[in-house]
Structure 1
């Protein structure tokens, strides 16, 4: 039994030690959402300030783990007054809850280049599970002025209910839809293995 426990511990340590980090290329990334206004038109918004990273031990990233954080104060819908309302107490309450975050728990293949990612999303101080549809492009080897680098792209889409997170609780769905479409895409660059660099 002791040998089995040691073997499991060794495997976990090994998988962790070989995990690679993929950093977000913010110049080629976007995180946004779409709501329906008065059941008539769609309004798009985005977060100007955010960060994300992916870690994976497998070369094909089939075991990818996603982490994301966004600055609620950077919300932008193209209308200053509306942005101010969204940052206020009635909606996101940015003064009290300035950050939203997501961390994945599973990443499952659903077809050619298609995956389902499930994880915990925290908005407005409330954490709920959410599942997103993912399209993965790559990874590829890119040759640029600074040499070769490995890159991968992810496109994610899904829906959530703002009421689940206590956002705009007093606003009827006929004014602003309860169901919100979320979408994110970005390029990630594989980071140098610090262990390899030391050798």
Structure 2
């Protein structure tokens, strides 16, 4: 049976990927005990508007296929805007837009992509955007948060929760990367049937089909305000 897959999205703020520890000024080496234990700090990250760096952003999702594997695919076009004040992360606002037609499949059978863009699945002509808008942010640790937001998929809007980890960031580096940069990892899950995409879900007691639950992960870096003189 063909792998059939739905989507997933969601996402939100902070975390980064600066240059390697060997090259980044002021960074401790990975062999230092304090470097391994220290949590990322937001003290020097400027408040302002941040936007995804497409070269360092990936949204991957999986769905159970026949009980034999977790079919994995990715969206190539994800544009997120984050309004962030590091002193008040719970007040951050995140908006995300995904183009369903940017779906990337591993060696798809002939016609499979077109089938997924059709009415039984994404119906991308009628619904050309998948969006996520944060509604609530709760800190769950020094560098973690739970982000609740409205996911709109296939013309239906439902709440989805993201578990987010802030990986780090910096205010910019003269001569190298003049804009502030933050990065984060996020994960979540939802049922595709909640969004009117119930085709192929196995009958009760069977695995012959494509699972209802869609699990997703996000790795992203976001660029923000330019470095101040």
Asked if TM exceeds 0.5, the reply is: yes
Q: Using CA pairs below 8 Å that are at least 6 residues apart, which structure has the higher relative contact order? A: 2
**Are 2:215 and 1:181 equivalent residues in the alignment?**
yes
Q: Secondary structure at the match of 1:145?
A: coil
Deviation at 1:85, TM superposition (A): 2.0
Q: Deviations over 1:104-158 (max 9, x none)?
A: 0111111231110000000000000011110011232342535543211111101
Query: Is residue 172 from structure 1 mapped to residue 206 from structure 2 by the alignment?
Result: no
Offset, 1:48: 1.2
Q: How does 1:52-71 map to 2 (within 5 A)?
A: 52-59=80-87, 61-71=89-99
CA contact under 8 A between 2:59 and 2:75: conserved in structure 1? Answer: yes
Paired residues of 1:23 and 1:191 also in contact (CA < 8 A)? no
Do structure 1's residue 139 and structure 2's residue 173 form an aligned pair?
Answer: no
TM-score, normalised on structure 1?
Answer: 0.80
Gaps of 5+ in 2: 1-45
- Pick closer, same or farther for the CA change 1:188–1:147 going to 2, 3 Å: closer
**Partner Cα separation in structure 1 for residue 146 and residue 56 of structure 2:** 22
Q: Secondary structure at the match of 2:199?
A: coil
Specify the alignment match of 2:12 in structure 1.
none
Larger relative strand fraction: 1
Structure 1 pair 112–153 and aligned structure 2 pair: CA distance change class (3 A): same
1:96 aligns to what? 126
Q: Which runs of 5+ in 1 are unaligned?
A: 1-17
Q: Could you tell me how far apart the structure 1 residues matched to 2:84 and 2:130 are? A: 23
TM-score by length of 2: 0.70
> Displacement of 1:56 after TM fit?
1.5
Q: How many residues align?
A: 176
Q: Specify the SS of the correspondent of 1:138.
A: strand
Matches for 1:31-110 after TM superposition, within 5 Å: 31-59=59-87, 61-78=89-106, 79=108, 81-110=111-140
**Pairing of 1:140-155 with structure 2 (within 5 A):** 140-143=170-173, 145-146=175-176, 148-155=178-185
More helix by share: 1
